Structure formats: structure tokens, C-alpha cells
Amino acid sequence: DQQVKQNSPSLSVQEGRISILNCDYTNSMFDYFLWYKKYPAEGPTFLISISSIKDKNEDGRFTVFLNKSAKHLSLHIVPSQPGDSAVYFCAAQHRGSYIPTFGRGTSLIVHP
């Protein structure tokens, strides 16, 4: 049973517009959430994270929002750039194990 779900396998946006990637989780023990970016033939790299004590974390063009009551988080990329085209993985961890649990990923394509 998937504990971290990314229900959109792919997303296509125009350069300069906002990209919104969504993630839902089922385990209420998760208290730390991360987004990773993966280019073809490379390993995933860390992008941004958020602790459950916050509802928003911003880093340049990237903002992650957390809605604990809905067990939902989203990654906003503004403005989107062609270099943002990659697969984005949502991951969650909790104090009991700290083992990253990943969603299935969303492939983002940003068109020039």
C-alpha cells in the first residue's frame, strides 16, 4: 500500500508559467517531507524540504506547501524554466525511522 502518492505521472507547462506538483500521504506519523529532482541517467538530487511544524518553505523559485489536515503537500515552481524539465519525487520521513519513503514521481516538461 502506497504511503506516499503522486497521482499525476506527468505535467506539461509553458516556460514562465507556474508548475504545481502534488503529493498525498497516508501515514500520519510522517513529519518531514522532501522533494527530489531527477534528470535522466542521473541519481535524484535534493531540492527542498519542509518540517511538519511549518506550512510553507520557500527557496528561490521553489516553494513547498504543507496541509497537514489534508495530508497533502505541493511544490510550486515559479517561473518555470526548460531546465526544470525532470522527474520530481516526493518523499516523507518520520522520527521513528527516518527512512525516506518515495512517491512514484511526476515527470515535468517545461516547453520553451
Partner 1 sequence: NAGVTQTPKFQVLKTGQSMTLQCAQDMNHNSMYWYRQDPGMGLRLIYYSASEGTTDKGEVPNGYNVSRLNKREFSLRLESAAPSQTSVYFCASTLGALMNTEAFFGQGTRLTVV
Residue type, 90: C
Q: How far is the CB of 4 from partner 1 (least distance, A)?
A: 8
Judged by beta carbon, residue 15 or residue 31, the one nearer partner 1 is: 31
Judged by beta carbon, residue 52 or residue 74, the one nearer partner 1 is: 52
Judged by beta carbon, residue 49 or residue 74, the one nearer partner 1 is: 49
The dihedral built from the CA positions of residue 13, 15, 79 and 92, taken in this order, carries a sign that is: positive
Check if the beta carbon of residue 57 is closer than 8 Å to that of residue 106.
Answer: no
Q: How far is the CB of 111 from partner 1 (least distance, A)?
A: 23
Residues contributing to the site for partner 1 (CB under 8 A):
6, 9, 31-32, 34, 36, 41-46, 49, 51, 89, 91, 93, 95, 97-105
